[in-house]
Amino acid sequence: MEDEIDWYGPDAATFGDRLAAARENAGMSQGDLAKRLGVRLSTLRKWEDDLSEPRANRLSMLAGILNVSMMWLITGEGEGIGAPDTAGTDAAGVAEVMAELRTLRADLLRKAEHVGRLEKRLRRAMTDTADV
């Protein structure tokens, strides 16, 4: 079917999206997978949130544990998991919502960084005022 979406391809999903989908498909929680990999839960969350990426040795372990290829995790091409069951859903509408969510997540990350910079400036200003 021509309108079929490549759910895990580079235009529809990020590394973190594919990692989370493969983990869920394997029936594992974030904590379970982190423990099997020997990494902190916060590290796995950063990978799934696309804030950092695993090194090659961890990537290889991920692929093995989740029964997908490393290439699929990285690019969405190769042996991975099947598309989610979308029977009765508007595939184009779902793809549009996913794209909007990715944009919103990126905007939120930028805003959080901005808040951090403002807090730092405020603390510096308060310290400077207290020194006077």
> Is this model's pTM higher than 0.85 or not?
no
Q: How many CB atoms lie within 10 A of CB 75?
A: 16
- What spatial distance separates the first Cα and last Cα of the chain, rounded to whole Å? 71
**Tell me, what's the pLDDT at 2?**
41
Question: Residue 121 has which token pair?
Answer: 């400036």
Sorted by sequence, the CB contacts under 8 Å of residue 15 that are 6+ apart come out as 47, 50, 53, 73, 74
Q: How many CB atoms lie within 10 A of CB 132?
A: 4
**Tell me, what's the pLDDT at 4?**
56
d(CA 73, CA 21): 10
Count of residues for the chain? 132
Domain boundaries, the chain: 7-84, 87-132
Per-residue pLDDT of the chain (132 residues; tens, 9 = 90+): 444 566 666 666 788 888 998 898 899 999 999 999 999 999 999 999 989 999 999 999 999 999 998 898 888 887 877 766 555 556 667 777 777 878 888 888 888 889 889 999 999 888 888 776
**Tell me, what's the pLDDT at 98?**
74
What is the third-level CATH fold of 7-84?
A: 434 Repressor (Amino-terminal Domain) (1.10.260)
Query: Residue 11 carries which DSSP code?
Result: T
